[in-house]
Amino acid sequence: MKMTTEKDFKLESFLSELSNIYSSESDANLKENIWKDTSFSDIDHAKLLLKCLAKFHATSALYQQKHQTSENGISKACKYFSQEPAEYIKQNGMAIFNELVELSSQFPEIKMKKSEFRKHFEKSLHLISHNEIPIKFQVICCMISPWKQVIFHYQNSRPINCKLTNLTSIFYSSPVYDVLFGIYSMTLREFRKYNLNNLLDYYYKSLENEFLSNDLILKNFLDYHEYQNLVRQFIPQIKLSASLTKYQIIKEYYHLNNNKGVLLDLLEDLEEYFTYKSCRVLPEDVHKIIKSSCGDIQFEIVQYRLESMSKTLGYMGDYSKLIVTILTAEGEKVIKYFAKLFPSNSPFIDTIRDSELFLKEIYMYTDIMDEMVRFGITPIKDCLPQCHLAIHNELLIFEDLNEAGFSTVNHRRVLDIKENAAILKTVSKLHASSIMLEKHIPILETFSYALHDGHYVDDKQKPARISFMSTVNALAYLIGKKFGENLTEFKNYALNLYETSVNLLKPTKKFRNVLSHGDLWPPNFFIKYDPSGIPTDSRLVDFQLIRYTVPAHDVLFAVFFATTHEHRKTFLKHYLDYYYSELINVLKSYNFDNSQIISFDEFLDGCNYILPQVTFQVAAWYQVGQVSPEVMEKINQGGNDIMEIWYKDRRSFCDFAYETDSNYKEKTDEILQTLKLMFEVYKKSDKSKQCQYLKEMYGIH
């Protein structure tokens, strides 16, 4: 079949395939139904237009496949008919926006000075000129504004269908641009505050249905997470272009004095955008967050801000508090949230991107949680904070656990029995939720894209593996420092523990696997205490290392990191019994019979199986995670390069901490001694059988 070029592309040919949603404006029978107002005020008209746009965009995608039209060809072809929106704004925007600046002084509700307004306009236009949004999936777009471009069909005064007409702008871009432009140009701010996200979801579902009706899967072209990302990226440009279009229509076809309400709405929207454009959280994000956390209340945003938290918090994200002040019928209310932002300037950025650590956590709070909620698996809600917003490789907004009475734990101290029990009870709920979900869907097959291991990998070129080579070399150095240089066999054993971890953490058919947190050191759990200091509840956070492995990994890592060998000799059996009994209690309360539940012997076998990896991971995490803030500051002042420490040579870093931080030395010595004891058990064991670490080290069997 011949490839269509820009010269071969005929607008009439494309429009002929839109007969069910496009009508010529000359059709006299439809003229009286052409929309002639400046905006919609009800959901029915808006949904009909979005459904029509979904058909338009689906037809474009099918047209491109049917005619084997190249993206470059159709893009050039569209430029024969109209100018691309961004180009039009760059060329004509400032003149029109200067009029809006002058108009703003007529409204006392607009607090921003004209000089500020103009400066923001200029910067925004510059941003559009230099900030090209990457787009994978493009369709023919029509930049529809409802005024004189939409025909509604009515039955008993209710709109039941709509068609497009008088298409004056045809260009090739993301369908997201078209959808947002339609919504922003046809609605007011108050309407969007409560309906924007529902309308965006409605469009995506409509487009998904159109693709399905033609035996196509939308997520293969534009998955929902990418769709959400594009929405946030296009909103600033849309606010400018929709405001420009609205103002032009009012100025050309209506009297400005008769539409002051619409003009004020337009200016307030721009003022809000300019006020918060440097913030990584959009006003539209805040609307969604408030709805998620407070329900369907009537509110106005008074102000909001992000307050950065300590730089010592969070290795794989920028942590902030989102503080929002809203006005409701009861008065002003301040609500605090925890914000985890994709790191803008992290030394670990290569690892974060390559291992998809930020994405893995988002998948946990969206795809995996959505399935658990769908199947009525309620214990998961007691395991982690409520997530109010999750945007791929952008941000996560959670309830503030501090506001709910939870607090973090000093990771440099030993946790007591009740604190460990509070953590293990929550871990049991996480694992029970996984076992329940497995009853409905195969977890690994369904979420393979989220459960790949981000840290323990075979590929020697991966940043995570390169970092761990620095870890194992430092581990060998510390072994020599504590025990002397004569323990060659032990050092070689330790040097091989990364490879051992890669193999042990893979899903195994020997034991039952569960959805595992993978990183349960104290900064990743919060504990609630009663007034007397007794732990009553806990929550798990930071799901960037989720994987599908034996449940023993989470249990042992949480206990081993936060306790000493002497403590474990007395209490480890108690912890294992307690976790297992809590797991059984949760599952039995949901009518799981014994045949569906992991046996205690199998659980203990899993502990013996995974213990070498757990002990290695504790030793690895101690190298950086046990350094005091004071020592870390001294190291930073000494000009140490964190990239050098993380990816190349960590020995001098660990040596300095070991010599100057008594707590670091004590913790390091303790885990090295445990590692040596484990090696001695391994050395004398029958290699054809599972090594009985628990029995030999802790008397558990």
Average pLDDT over residues 212-235: 94
Task: For 401, list phi and psi in degrees, rounded to 5.
Answer: -65, -30
| Domain-terminating residue out of 273, 306, 334 | 273
In a shared domain, residues 675 and 562: yes
In a shared domain, residues 177 and 30: yes
What percentage of the chain reaches a pLDDT higher than 70? Answer: 90
| Domain-terminating residue out of 245, 273, 301 | 273
Higher pLDDT among residues 213 and 351, named by residue: 213
In a shared domain, residues 524 and 613: yes
Of 179, 286, 275, 158, nearest to 222 by C-alpha is: 179
Within a domain: 127: no
The alpha carbon dihedral of 523, 525, 526, 528 has a sign of negative
Instruction: Name the band, by pLDDT with cuts 50, 70 and 90, for residue 597.
Output: confident
Crossing angle between the packed helical segments 565-589 and 552-562, to the nearest 10 degrees? 140
Is pLDDT above 80 for 70? no
- The mean-pLDDT minimum among 24-33, 126-135, 246-255, 497-506 falls in 24-33
pLDDT tens, position by position, 231-248? 999 998 899 888 888 888
Is pLDDT above 50 for 631? yes
Within a domain: 643: yes
* Coil, strand or helix at 110: coil
Q: Give the per-residue pLDDT at 393.
A: 87
In a shared domain, residues 249 and 376: no
Is pLDDT above 50 for 28? no
Higher pLDDT among residues 643 and 373, named by residue: 373
Q: What is the pTM of this model?
A: 0.91
Q: Give the per-residue pLDDT at 656.
A: 92
Average pLDDT over residues 218-240: 93
Q: Give the per-residue pLDDT at 7.
A: 45
Q: Give the per-residue pLDDT at 1.
A: 32
Q: Give the per-residue pLDDT at 29.
A: 53
Structural domain count, the chain: 2
pLDDT tens, position by position, 348-367? 788 888 899 999 999 999 99
Taking only Cα atoms into account, the Rg of the chain, rounded to an integer number of angstroms, comes to: 30
Average pLDDT over residues 81-90: 63
Within a domain: 325: no
Structure-token match 């029990």, residue found:
421
Name the residue type at position 242.
A
How far is C-alpha 237 from the chain's CA centre? Answer: 23
In a shared domain, residues 518 and 641: yes
pLDDT tens, position by position, 558-582? 999 999 999 999 999 999 999 999 9
In a shared domain, residues 269 and 363: no
Q: Give the per-residue pLDDT at 72.
A: 63
- The mean-pLDDT minimum among 37-41, 534-538, 606-610 falls in 37-41
pLDDT tens, position by position, 406-442? 999 999 999 999 999 999 999 999 999 999 999 999 9
Q: Give the per-residue pLDDT at 474.
A: 96
Distance, CA of 79 to CA of 255 (rounded, Å):
33
| Domain-terminating residue out of 273, 308, 328 | 273
The alpha carbon dihedral of 565, 566, 568, 573 has a sign of positive
Within a domain: 423: yes
Name the residue type at position 107.
F
Within a domain: 686: yes
Instruction: Name the band, by pLDDT with cuts 50, 70 and 90, for residue 640.
Output: low
pLDDT tens, position by position, 464-509? 999 999 999 999 999 999 998 788 899 999 999 999 999 999 999 9
DSSP string, 411-462: TTS---HHHHHHHHHHHHHHHHHHHHHHTTS-HHHHTHHHHS-SSS-S-TTS
Highest mean pLDDT, choosing among 96-100, 127-131, 234-238, 394-398? 394-398
**Residue 374 CA: distances (Å) to CA of 197, 201, 377, 378:** 20, 17, 8, 10
Crossing angle between the packed helical segments 662-684 and 488-495, to the nearest 10 degrees? 100
Distance between the two ends of the chain, CA-based, in angstroms? 71
DSSP string, 17-67: TTTTTB--TT-TTTGGGB--SS---SHHHHHHHHHHHHHHHHHHHHHHHHT
Is pLDDT above 90 for 637? no
**Residue 218 CA: distances (Å) to CA of 171, 205, 222, 263:** 21, 9, 6, 38
Within a domain: 215: yes
Is pLDDT above 80 for 310? no
Q: Helix %, strand %, coil % for the chain, to 5?
A: 55, 10, 30
Distance, CA of 701 to CA of 695 (rounded, Å):
5
Is pLDDT above 60 for 25? no
Q: Give the per-residue pLDDT at 78.
A: 66
In a shared domain, residues 354 and 266: no
* Coil, strand or helix at 363: helix
Tokens for 198, please give them: 């529902």
Instruction: Name the band, by pLDDT with cuts 50, 70 and 90, for residue 142.
Output: confident
Please answer whether residues 162 and 48 qualify as being in contact, where contact means their C-beta atoms are separated by less than 8 angstroms.
yes
Distance, CA of 558 to CA of 607 (rounded, Å):
13
Within a domain: 185: yes
H or E stretch at 387? strand 387-391
Q: Give the per-residue pLDDT at 6.
A: 47
In a shared domain, residues 375 and 491: yes
In a shared domain, residues 488 and 574: yes
In a shared domain, residues 46 and 173: yes
Within a domain: 99: no
- Residue 33: exposure state from Cβ atoms within 10 A (0-12, 13-18, ≥19): middle
- Mean pLDDT (the chain, rounded): 89
In a shared domain, residues 503 and 415: yes
Q: Give the per-residue pLDDT at 681.
A: 96
Q: Give me the long-range contacts of 572-579 (CB less than 8 A, separation at least 24).
A: 572/694, 572/698, 572/700, 573/698, 573/699, 573/700, 574/417, 575/420, 575/421, 575/424, 576/603, 576/604, 576/607, 576/700, 578/421, 578/424, 578/425, 579/424, 579/425, 579/427, 579/428, 579/555
Average pLDDT over residues 61-72: 74
Crossing angle between the packed helical segments 565-589 and 600-625, to the nearest 10 degrees? 130
What percentage of the chain reaches a pLDDT higher than 90? Answer: 65
Distance, CA of 330 to CA of 336 (rounded, Å):
18
Q: Give the per-residue pLDDT at 253.
A: 72
Is pLDDT above 80 for 531? yes
Q: Give the per-residue pLDDT at 499.
A: 96
Is pLDDT above 60 for 82? no
- The mean-pLDDT minimum among 34-38, 162-166, 180-184, 229-233 falls in 34-38
Of 182, 219, 173, 179, nearest to 203 by C-alpha is: 179
In a shared domain, residues 524 and 654: yes
- Residue 525: exposure state from Cβ atoms within 10 A (0-12, 13-18, ≥19): buried
Q: Give the list of residues 6+ apart from residue 618 with CB closer than 8 angstroms, or none.
A: 557, 560, 561, 671
Q: Tell me which residue range forms the domain holding 522.
A: 349-698
